C-alpha cells in the first residue's frame, strides 16, 4: 500500500496507551531491518531520516526504497523527516513523497518558532502531510544540530499548550530530560512535567533521545502519554559493533553481503525489542482500517 500519514496510528496509540517506535535509518539494510522487524511484530511503523542522512543518500533513493518496502509488506508505514531546520528541504521531501515532517525551529525565540512552524503546518495540511513541532530544547547532538546542556530547556506545560493550539501541529516533541546521542550518566526524566504537559496538550507527544533510557523509564513515559518514541543511536551502536565483529574475526572479509548482512540482523533484533517495549505489536491496523 502507499505510505501513510502517521496521524491515525499516533492517535490510536494515544487512545490505547501504547507508542509507535520511529526508527532513524541510513541505508537499504537499515530500512529492510526495521520493516522486517515491524512486519514480524505486526506493528505500524514510522521510518525517519535526518537532513544529514538525506545529504548522504539523496531524497529519491530513500523515498523509492521506503515506498517499495510499503508495497512488499502489508503494514502501515509512514516516512518522516526528523529535525529539519530548512524550509526548502521540507518542501522537497513533501514533494518527493514524505508523509510527515518535523520542523525544528526550537532554537528561535518563542514567537518566531511559532510563526515558522505555522508556515509549514499551513502548507503541509493542504497536501495531507503531518507536522511534528518541538517546544523546549532537547540537549545533545542529532545530525548537525548540537544543543549543549546550558541551552537545553525543559518544556513548560503552558507554553506547550499555547504552541500546539496556535501552530496547529499534529504532534509535539517535548523536552523532559532526555538528550540525543549517548548519555554520560543515567538520564533523569521529569515524569511529573510530562504528566502536566499531557494534561494541557491534547495532541500526540513525542519522546526524542530515547536511546540509553532504561526500558522501565520508557514504559513510564508511555504510560504518562508519550505515543512516539524516536530510536536512532540505539540502532547505530549494534550495527557498528556487528560490522566490527565481522572484521575482528576475519580482517580480510570483503563481501558486503557478509558484514552488512550481520549489521542488518543486529539492527533488526534491536528494532523488534523496541517495538515490543512500545507495546505496538499486533496493532498494525488498529485505528487505520
Ligand atoms: Zn530528536
What is 127-190 written as a DSSP string?
TT-EEEEEESB-EEEETTEEE-TTT-BPPPHHHHHHHHHHH--SEEEE-SS-EES--SS-----
Helix (H, G, I), strand (E, B) or coil at 73: coil
CA of 254 to the centre of ligand 1 (A): 34
CA of 35 to the centre of ligand 1 (A): 21
For 75-95, the pLDDT digits (tens) are: 999 999 999 999 999 999 999
For 136-157, the pLDDT digits (tens) are: 887 777 776 776 665 678 999 9
The pTM score is 0.95
Neighbours of ion ligand 1 (CB under 5 A): 142, 208
Domains in the chain, start-ordered, CATH in brackets?
Answer: 7-278 (3.20.20.70)
| 162: annotated active-site residue | no
Amino acid at each position: 500500500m502507499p505510505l501513510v500519514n502517521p496521524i491515525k496510528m499516533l492517535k490510536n496509540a494515544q487512545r490505547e496507551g501504547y507508542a509507535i517506535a520511529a526508527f532513524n535509518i541510513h541505508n537499504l539494510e537499515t530500512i529492510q531491518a526495521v520493516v522486517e522487524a515491524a512486519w514480524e511484530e505486526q506493528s505500524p511503523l514510522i521510518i525517519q531520516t535526518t537532513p544529514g542522512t538525506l545529504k548522504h543518500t539523496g531524497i529519491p533513493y530513500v523515498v523509492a526504497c521506503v515506498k517499495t518496502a510499503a508495497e512488499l509488506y502489508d503494514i502501515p508505514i509512514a516516512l518522516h523527516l526528523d529535525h529539519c531546520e530548512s524550509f526548502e528541504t521540507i518542501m522537497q521531501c513533501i514533494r518527493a513523497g514524505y508523509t510527515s515532517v518535523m520542523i525544528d525551529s526550537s532554537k528561535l525565540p518563542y514567537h518566531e518558532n511559532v510563526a515558522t512552524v505555522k508556515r509549514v503546518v499551513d502548507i503541509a495540511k493542504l497536501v495531507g502531510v503531518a507536522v511534528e513541532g518541538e517546544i523546549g530544547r532537547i540537549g545533545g547532538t542529532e545530525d548537525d544540530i548540537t544543543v549543549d546542556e546550558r541551552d537545553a530547556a525543559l518544556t513548560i506545560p503552558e507554553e506547550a499548550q499555547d504552541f500546539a493550539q496556535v501552530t496547529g501541529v499534529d504532534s509535539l516533541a517535548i523536552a523532559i530530560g532526555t538528550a540525543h546521542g549517548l548519555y554520560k550518566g543515567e538520564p533523569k526524566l521529569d515524569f511529573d512535567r510530562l504528566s502536566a504537559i499531557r494534561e494541557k496538550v491534547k495532541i500526540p507527544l513525542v519522546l526524542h533521545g530515547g536511546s540509553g533510557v532504561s526500558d522501565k523509564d520508557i514504559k513510564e513515559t508511555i504510560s504518562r502519554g508519550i505515543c512516539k518514541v524516536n530510536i536512532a543511536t540505539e540502532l547505530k551502536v549494534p550495527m557498528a559493533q556487528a560490522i566490527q565483529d565481522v572484521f575482528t574475526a576475519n580482517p580480510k572479509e570483503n563481501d558486503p553481503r557478509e558484514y552488512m548482512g550481520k549489521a542488518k540482523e543486529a539492527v533488526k533484533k534491536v528494532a523488534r525489542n523496541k517495538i515490543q517495549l512500545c507495546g505496538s505489536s499486533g496493532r498494525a491496523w488498529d485505528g487505520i482500517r
